[in-house]
Structure 1
């Protein structure tokens, strides 16, 4: 049975705000959560990816950059070369390059977007604050490559292992279930009853399979209690990514790039699974 992975990622993990991994498996339209793991360093997370030889995972971080941005900056337009170049830059160099790009553009159109941002409702992958997804790409994608993962449509990984990494976005599935209601906050003052109720409603909908993904989430009572109590939403976001990975897993392999990814995805931008 294929190991499913869902990852709520941080570009600067710590004991207080770790990277959270949800593990599970799928059978007959049911996705079962088996375990939640946390990693307080990027190296520990990367080592776990490398040491776990077979999985299909949904990772909440961008896998590519907008083509418009890449071409204007004169960066490589082949994905592997682009990621190697990007990984070699410091965060300050990335911030400076992106700020310069934005400064030359009109108000209301500062950022370049990937094609997938529209249907997914995701932040532009060049954004370096609130949330700093540009740094998430910088910290996460090279470690996925180093672990030997295949990123369908973008990169073929190590042949001796079966590690499939899909870009996921928990907000896409959460909006389908609870609309624009907020279900989490890192700000303790905002961790209120309304957000707890939104988490309860979101979990109830996942367990009923009330999504277009046609998958039902199976939880134990203690797992449900833990997800409800997680006011930051990190564990719940990891579970949402795991469900998106489960959807990708059951899509026909002969269509597009497999895993529900379109055949015409831009090979330097990538695509968010289920968008």
Structure 2
């Protein structure tokens, strides 16, 4: 079974592409085999639609908070909600979400999904720093058009299984709140390089609650450490989460390790 970890971008480019980590798992070891990049959404969509057998962890939200959806009067069926949401333009999303936040008290501006707290993730309605609302808007249509299976949300081709992943969940387990990446060249410091190396070392030793060890060539490990943006490393963290999910599936878990969850909001794998 091919395993995929995806560091997604809602506006990919040659400078900031979508990054895939490709690998396989066996006996508690996750072998990172290759890194692949896409600098357009259409190129990534063309890759997704190809017939294949894989389980993937994708670093983008697959759903919106139920509280937000109900307050805005949008459909509460996941597919109908995504149809409505993805038909909007980004300025419309920003305007409606900003109005929602402005009507709420300081400290509680955003609505959250149930998975956000255990995962430590940003609310999926956030449109800046990071713009995860736009990542959902760009990414979920590609997954749906490709006909992939989204456990707990949408039945599709069970040979291609997409799970919402979040690399920060695994990184924080090792590093706490120490930063290991930045897109800002001025912040690509030796300290962040050391943090990436520390994180990689922990993954190689299997020192996370996933109980899985990362295996990779020295060349690939060097690329993960040297990528100051952290994109390749984030894709690899998603690969580790996909490997854990596949392990749960092989052990008989019907939803790849996801707990029973709100079928509108979805869940973040390993949270």
1:267 matched to which residue of 2? 263
Q: Residues 257 and 117 of structure 1: is their aligned pair in 2 closer, same or farther, counting only changes over 3 Å?
A: farther
Structure 2 counterpart SS, 1:89: coil
Matched-pair contact (CA < 8 Å) for 1:153–1:257: no
Which string of whole-angstrom CA distances, capped at 9 and with x for unpartnered residues, describes residues 220-270 of structure 1?
A: 11011111110000000000000000001111478775211012x010101
1:233 matched to which residue of 2? 230
Q: Which of 170, 173, 179 lines up with 2:170 in the alignment?
A: 173
Could you list the runs of 4 or more consecutive aligned residues of structure 1 that deviate by over 3 angstroms after TM superposition? 252-257
1:114 matched to which residue of 2? 113
Structure 2 counterpart SS, 1:251: helix
1:126 matched to which residue of 2? 125
Aligned-pair distance for 1:131?
Answer: 0.3
TM-score (norm 1): 0.96
Structure 1 counterpart SS, 2:94: helix
Structure 2 counterpart SS, 1:125: coil
Superposition pairs for residues 6-25 of structure 1, below 5 Å?
Answer: 6-25=5-24
Structure 2 counterpart SS, 1:82: helix
Q: Residues 188 and 28 of structure 1: is their aligned pair in 2 closer, same or farther, counting only changes over 3 Å?
A: same
Matched-pair contact (CA < 8 Å) for 1:256–1:262: no
Structure 2 counterpart SS, 1:101: helix
Structure 2 counterpart SS, 1:182: coil
Structure 2 counterpart SS, 1:250: helix
User: Which whole-Å CA distance do the structure 1 matches of 2:11 and 2:104 have between them?
Assistant: 29
**Could you say what the CA RMSD is over the residues aligned between the two structures, in angstroms?**
1.2
User: Which whole-Å CA distance do the structure 1 matches of 2:51 and 2:177 have between them?
Assistant: 36
Structure 1 counterpart SS, 2:30: strand
Q: Which of 203, 207, 215 lines up with 2:204 in the alignment?
A: 207
Q: What are the ranges of 5 or more consecutive residues in structure 2 without an aligned counterpart?
A: none
Structure 1 counterpart SS, 2:193: helix
User: Which whole-Å CA distance do the structure 2 matches of 1:254 and 1:112 have between them?
Assistant: 35
User: Which whole-Å CA distance do the structure 2 matches of 1:126 and 1:240 have between them?
Assistant: 23
User: Which whole-Å CA distance do the structure 1 matches of 2:113 and 2:78 have between them?
Assistant: 14
Q: What are the ranges of 5 or more consecutive residues in structure 1 without an aligned counterpart?
A: none
Q: Residues 212 and 102 of structure 1: is their aligned pair in 2 closer, same or farther, counting only changes over 3 Å?
A: same
User: Which whole-Å CA distance do the structure 2 matches of 1:241 and 1:6 have between them?
Assistant: 4
Aligned-pair distance for 1:54?
Answer: 1.7
User: Which whole-Å CA distance do the structure 1 matches of 2:128 and 2:30 have between them?
Assistant: 33
User: Which whole-Å CA distance do the structure 2 matches of 1:220 and 1:188 have between them?
Assistant: 27
Matched-pair contact (CA < 8 Å) for 1:152–1:164: yes
Between Structure 1 and Structure 2, how many residues are aligned? 271
Residue 185 in structure 1 maps to residue 189 in structure 2:
no
